[in-house]
Structure 1
Amino acid sequence: MSLDRPVTPDPYHLLPATASFTVTSTDVSDGFPLKDDQVNHAGDTSPQLSWSGAPEGTKSYIVTCFDPDAPIVSGFWHWTVVDIPADVTTLDTGAGASDATLPDGAFHVRNDGGGLSYMGAAPPQGDQVHRYYFVVHAVGEETLGVDASASPAAVGFNLAFKTLGRAIIQGTYAH
Structure 2
Amino acid sequence: MELTSTAFTAGGDIPTRHTCEGQDTAPPLAWSGLPDGTRSLALVVEDPDAPDPAKPQRIWVHWVLYDIPPSAAGLPEGGTPLPPGTREGQNDWNRTGYGGPCPPIGRHRYFFKLYALDALLSDQDSPKKQALEKAMQGHVLAHCELIGTYQKQR
State whether TM-score is above 0.5. Answer: yes
1:138 to 116, 122, 142: 116
Residue in structure 2 matched with residue 164 of structure 1 by the alignment: 141
Runs (5+) with no aligned partner, structure 1: 1-20
C-alpha displacement of 1:63: 1.2
Q: Which runs of 5+ in 2 are unaligned?
A: none
Q: Which runs of 4+ in 1 moved over 3 A?
A: none
Q: Cα 1:161–1:145, aligned 2, differ >3 Å: closer, same or farther?
A: farther
Q: Does 1:50 align with 2:34?
A: no
Residue number in structure 2 paired with 1:60: 40
Matched letter for residue 142 of structure 2: G
| CA displacement, residues 69-121 of structure 1 (integer Å, 9 cap, x when unaligned) | 1126431000011110111121111115xxxx211111211110122110000
Aligned twin of 1:128:
106
2-structure distance, mates of 1:49, 1:160: 24
The root-mean-square deviation of aligned C-alpha atoms, in Å, is 1.5
* Cα distance in 2 between the residues matched to 1:74 and 1:144: 28
Q: How many residue pairs are counted as aligned between the two chains?
A: 148
CA distance in 2: counterparts of 1:174 and 1:138, whole angstroms: 30
Name the structure with the higher helix share. Answer: 1
Q: Give the whole-Å Cα distance in 1 for the aligned partners of 2:8 and 2:103.
A: 17
SS state of the match for residue 154, structure 1? helix
Show CA shifts across 1:145-171 (max 9, x none): 3122x1121112222332111121100
What TM-score comes out, normalization by structure 1 length? 0.79
Secondary structure in 2 matching 1:66:
strand
